[in-house]
Every structure is written in structure tokens, then in C-alpha cells.
Amino acid sequence: MSMLVHYTLKPDADHAAQTTAMTALVDGLKSEGLVGLHYSCFSTDDPLRFVGILEFADDAAKQTFLNSASFAAYRDAVGPTFANPPQTTQIKAIASTRD
């Protein structure tokens, strides 16, 4: 199960702070040792737009991510800077060079 997440920051939001928060989220998820999760964050050519790809082994892994301390800290820190709620789309892998 995978999700594509798009979100845009408010015009006065700090792009660098968002990048720092994303890095802290990934570092936190790694330190929590969550199993069955792969998370990648991307900036775009628009400094206010970001994309995330979340891959979960199953529903339990997704719920573990949603309940993680790292995700809660990230959400609390950057949630107020979002122009709108993040938009999510369920996606399904077809092919990948990643193992």
C-alpha cells in the first residue's frame, strides 16, 4: 500500500524550516525503528510545494506511522504552515529499481 502526498505551504512560510522538519521526521522515523515503512520527501520547483511518497507493508505499518512520535512532532510543527490540508492519493507500484 502506498500513498502520494502533495502539500503547499502558506506564502509566508519558511521553506528552509519545512526542509529541516522533513529531515527531522525521517531521522526520527529511522530512530524509532518502524518496520514496514519507506518514506521519501521531495521539494519541487515551487519552493512552497512538497511531495511525499509513503510505502507501507500493510495497514498495521501505516497505523504505526500515523501513531509515531516523529509524525506527531512533525504534524504539530509544520501543520500550521500548510496553506491547505495535505492531499493524498493511493498509488500502486508497477515497477521500481528499488529492492
Supply the range of the domain harboring residue 65: 2-91
CA 34 vs CA 37, 52, 64, 68: distances in Å: 7, 17, 7, 9
Residue 39 lies in a domain: yes
Residue with cell 492519493: 89
The answer to whether the beta carbons of residues 52 and 39 sit under 8 Å apart is yes
Residue 68: give its domain's CATH number. 3.30.70.100
Residue 10 lies in a domain: yes
The tens-digit pLDDT sequence of the chain (99 residues) is 899 999 999 999 988 899 999 999 999 999 999 889 999 999 999 999 999 999 999 999 999 999 999 999 999 999 999 999 999 999 998 998 877
Cell of 51: 511531495
Which parts of 1-99 fold into alpha helices (H)?
A: 15-32, 59-66, 69-78
Half-sphere exposure of 40 (CA within 13 A, CB side): 7
